[in-house]
Structure 1
């Protein structure tokens, strides 16, 4: 029987970082158990091999899928000051827009369109010229995606994606943008999404971002 909340996942995983940041935000002590996607370690908890899994003392069944974890964290640890899902409908719709956009468009067009191909080619020691040629096919869509998100953020009246308070929207987007802004293509990303860049710079100064930085893709690239 475990005595503390445990997050099973890799530090480089954006979804793992999202859940870790949420626990940091609601001030729930936890420990991380390292596991990589589709490894035997994670398959003990999630047959699909997806990260992360959340283990809660007193609950015999591990929690998988971040939607389930979001609901549990809000209901169990959230209060008027720390609830990551707003109570009013319009704000909830806005938060869900951002989460859906990250889970679909950001992952497909930026992470898998740019970050992952670059990472794989760098590991094979391919030339920067070859990398740029490969990315020339995916960068236009990646930049359009960022520009669209920048336009959406223009409607926000606060420093966070959905206003004056941190929400799940910020916790989903930030780990992805931390990875993207660590790439050599950063300048192009800044040019098409200047407000997202400002939001990112503000968010990375928060303790919940700093406390989950170690082992992230951004940290690994900074140490190269």
Structure 2
């Protein structure tokens, strides 16, 4: 099927995966990778900076136009394409989803991905070793954030209620990487509701198509 949109960004990126999940949920045909119209795009190279001067991913290309920043991309896809709604109709419920999208994209991403997972994926220690002191320093904040998410999920099917939303698309790639660490069960115990949520999401068709891709978070 000819892609309806191009997602510029490596498929191991958590935020690229979030956009891919939204496409999967809505049935949007897409291509994801560091290519644009069949040409390779060097990360932070001239072609990349031309479509996002901040040099970040993802960027989407749709009908000759470009858009970057994951939250706005996902909201655009939800509005521009038919298919399953990824946001509630009710104003307050929609605002709650927006609230959690903001929290996940900033604070949760910083604590879980930037300060923790990246040390395992791209270790900066001597001879490429993981800096276990940095891991130990970051782990209390990871545990604290997971506690907040555990409280939020409660008995709900999804992070913001009974509907898969953009907030789930943002969150699950991060948690999928986290639970996949060798010591993942120390952070996400089998008896936690958040662990059950991750298991349910991993079985979802969209996640089955996205999460098993090359496994390095960014």
TM range (shorter): 0.7 to 0.9
Task: Find the aligned partners of 1:203 and 1:210 in 2 and give their Cα distance.
Answer: 9
Task: Find the aligned partners of 2:14 and 2:90 in 1 and give their Cα distance.
Answer: 27
TM-score, normalised by the number of residues in structure 2: 0.85
Q: CA deviation at 1:25?
A: 0.9
User: Superposed, which structure 2 residues align to 1:89-104 within 5 Å?
Assistant: 89-104=91-106
Task: Find the aligned partners of 2:51 and 2:85 in 1 and give their Cα distance.
Answer: 27
The equivalent residue for 1:191 is: 189
Q: CA deviation at 1:112?
A: 1.6
Task: Find the aligned partners of 1:98 and 1:3 in 2 and give their Cα distance.
Answer: 29
The equivalent residue for 1:222 is: none
Pairing partner for 2:71 from 67, 82, 90: 67
TM-score, normalised by the number of residues in structure 1: 0.83
Q: CA deviation at 1:33?
A: 3.5
Structure 2's unaligned 5+ residue stretches are 35-40
The equivalent residue for 1:147 is: 147
Q: CA deviation at 1:167?
A: 0.5
| RMSD of Structure 2 on Structure 1 (CA) | 2.4
Q: CA deviation at 1:39?
A: 4.0
The equivalent residue for 1:9 is: 9
Aligned 8 A contact 1:147 1:193 in 2: no
Task: Find the aligned partners of 1:3 and 1:22 in 2 and give their Cα distance.
Answer: 14
Aligned 8 A contact 2:7 2:33 in 1: yes
Aligned 8 A contact 1:10 1:36 in 2: no
**2:108 is the alignment partner of 1:106:** yes
Pairing partner for 1:167 from 154, 165, 168: 165
Query: CA 1:208–1:89 in 2, change beyond 3 Å: closer, same or farther?
Result: same
Aligned 8 A contact 2:18 2:170 in 1: yes
Task: Find the aligned partners of 1:70 and 1:30 in 2 and give their Cα distance.
Answer: 13
**2:62 is the alignment partner of 1:56:** yes
Q: Using CA pairs below 8 Å that are at least 6 residues apart, which structure has the higher relative contact order?
A: 2
What is the SS of the residue equivalent to 2:203? coil
Deviation larger for 139-148 or 190-199: 190-199
Aligned 8 A contact 1:146 1:193 in 2: no
Aligned 8 A contact 2:123 2:129 in 1: yes
What is the SS of the residue equivalent to 2:123? helix
Q: CA deviation at 1:90?
A: 2.6
Q: CA deviation at 1:66?
A: 2.1
